[in-house]
Structure 1
Amino acid sequence: MPTRITTRGRPLVLDEILAAEFGAELARTLLTATLDLNPGLAQLGAFIPPGTDLLLPDRPTVSATRTVVSLYG
C-alpha cells in the first residue's frame, strides 16, 4: 500500500525525497511510479513546495533468485 507523506522545510526535488526514503539506487527506479501515483506533480516544477502531500510507492520485493557468475570458469 502506498505511503502518504507531507513535505516540510525547504522545497525539495523528488529525487531527494525518494533517496531519503528508499536509497539513491532504488530512487531512480521508483521515479516513474511516484509520478504515476501523483497526477499533477510534474506541473509543480523541479522543486516540490513544503506542505505538498505525496504518495510514495511500495518498496519493490527482492527477487529470491540470483544469477551467479564465475570469473574462473
Structure 2
Amino acid sequence: MPKIVTRYTVTEDAERIDRIARDLYGSERGGSAEALINANRRLSGTMKDPSGDVAFGTILSVPEAPVAPDETPVRPWE
C-alpha cells in the first residue's frame, strides 16, 4: 500500500483523474494516474459520473509520487 501524503478535494465539476494527476504530480504519465486510482479504490458509481469523471467535492487520498522507471534507451547493438 502506498504511503498517503495528503488529501485533495475535487473543486471542479466532473474532473478527470488524469488531469488531477497532472495538477498534483506535474504529469499524468509514469504511473501517476494509476497511483491515484489505486489509492482511492472507493471510487464507485456514487463518486463518479457515468463518463468516469470524479464528482465535485470528492476527497481523494494522494500517495507519494511514483518513481518513474529508468528511461535510458537500450541499444543492444553497441
TM-score range, shorter chain: 0.5 to 0.7
Gaps of 5+ in 2: none
Q: Which residue of 1 aligns with 2:32?
A: 30
CA distance in 2, matches of 1:14, 1:48: 7
Choose between structure 1 and 2: higher helix proportion: 1
Structure (1 or 2) with the larger CA radius of gyration: 1
RMSD: 2.6
Post-superposition CA distance 1:7-65 (Å, at most 9, x none): 113220000101011122xx2212222111111315425211110010111124579x9
Aligned positions, number: 67
Corresponding position: 1:20 with 2:23: yes
| TM-score where L is the length of structure 1 | 0.66
Amino acid at match of 2:22: A
Gaps of 5+ in 1: none
Q: Which residue of 2 aligns with 1:6?
A: 9
